[in-house]
Amino acid sequence: MTYITFYWDTWAIFGDKEIFRMIQREDYKGKTWQECCDESARCWDWDNSDFVKGFENNVIETNRQLNQIIVNQNGEELEAPLEIYVYYNNKVEKLKRDLGDGN
């Protein structure tokens, strides 16, 4: 079994120009690292409802940017090799193109 953690810089901009930032962690497990990346990529248009809970009426914008991918190998957390970042980014871009939102 493979375990991968994605760390995201997330932010929300509110109507009063206040900005809220946080690090978001998403954990995935699968038979391969590709399976973990595929599952994460399917969430490229992320659900931000928990992020702004209670402030939905005052939110102007939310967004996130990938900060780091960590691979758990035998209980040790290591920075993912470039190959995993490239695979993940290519998968997200393909999903966006397939849905007609290639921005």
Residue 25: inside a domain: yes
pLDDT interval class at 86 (50, 70, 90)? very high
Residue 100: inside a domain: no
The more confidently predicted of residues 47 and 20 is: 20
Residue 55: inside a domain: yes
Q: Are 90 and 102 in contact (CB under 8 A)?
A: no
Helices 82-98, 33-41: inter-axial angle, 10-degree rounding: 40
Boundaries of domain holding 20: 2-73
Q: What is the mean pLDDT of residues 67-88?
A: 95
Residue 70: Cβ-neighbour burial (10 angstroms; 0-12, 13-18, 19+)? middle
User: Between the CA of residue 94 and those of 17, 30, 44, 78, 91, what are the distances in Å?
Assistant: 34, 21, 11, 27, 5
Residue 9: inside a domain: yes
Count of structural domains, the chain = 1
What element of type H or E holds 34? Answer: helix 33-41
